[in-house]
């Protein structure tokens, strides 16, 4: 049962990431850095911080939502691809900014979310 819940939560998170990422790409069609994944990852980190701070005692629910949904919603792999693409295109400044912003803003977002409640 946990596997099915995990798959459904991950699928929902992935679909929401795609939908929100598409909205952001339409709003900002040619950014200097990949802003859609950056914003999605910051939002996901912030929301995960809130979720973790709720201290849900039900282990199954914590795993399904915390790992399944938020794992599907946020994406380190796409961040990695986009960062390497910037570096391969010799856009070193943009790549460095993107990597630094992702790491600091996602960790900061998680921390801020965890302190919210």
Average pLDDT, the chain: 94
**Percentage of the residues of the chain whose pLDDT score is greater than 90:** 87
Q: What is the DSSP string of 21-64?
A: HHHHHHHSSS-SS-HHHHHHHHHHHHHHHHHHHT----HHHHII
If you search the block for the tokens 């399904």, which residue do you land on?
64
State pLDDT tens for residues 49-102.
999 999 888 888 888 999 999 999 999 999 999 999 999 999 999 999 999 999
Q: What is the pTM of this model?
A: 0.93
State pLDDT tens for residues 4-29.
988 999 999 999 999 999 999 999 99
C-alpha 57/C-alpha 91 separation (Å) is 46
Tell whether 74 is in a known binding site. yes
- Domain extents in the chain: 2-116
Res 1: pLDDT: 63
Tell whether 104 is in a known binding site. no
Question: Would you state the structure tokens that stand for residue 64, as one six-digit string?
Answer: 């399904």
């Amino acid at each position: 049962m946990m596997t099915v819940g995990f798959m459904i939560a991950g699928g929902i998170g992935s679909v929401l990431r795609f939908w929100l990422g598409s909205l952001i790409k339409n709003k900002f069609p040619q950014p200097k850095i990949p802003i859609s994944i950056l914003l999605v990852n910051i939002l996901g980190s912030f929301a995960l911080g809130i979720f973790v701070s709720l201290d849900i005692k039900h282990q199954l629910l914590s795993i399904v939502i915390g790992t399944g949904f938020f794992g599907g919603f946020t994406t380190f792999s796409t961040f990695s691809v986009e960062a390497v693409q910037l570096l391969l295109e010799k856009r070193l400044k943009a790549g460095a900014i993107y990597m630094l912003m992702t790491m600091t803003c996602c960790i900061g977002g998680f921390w801020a979310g965890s302190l919210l409640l």
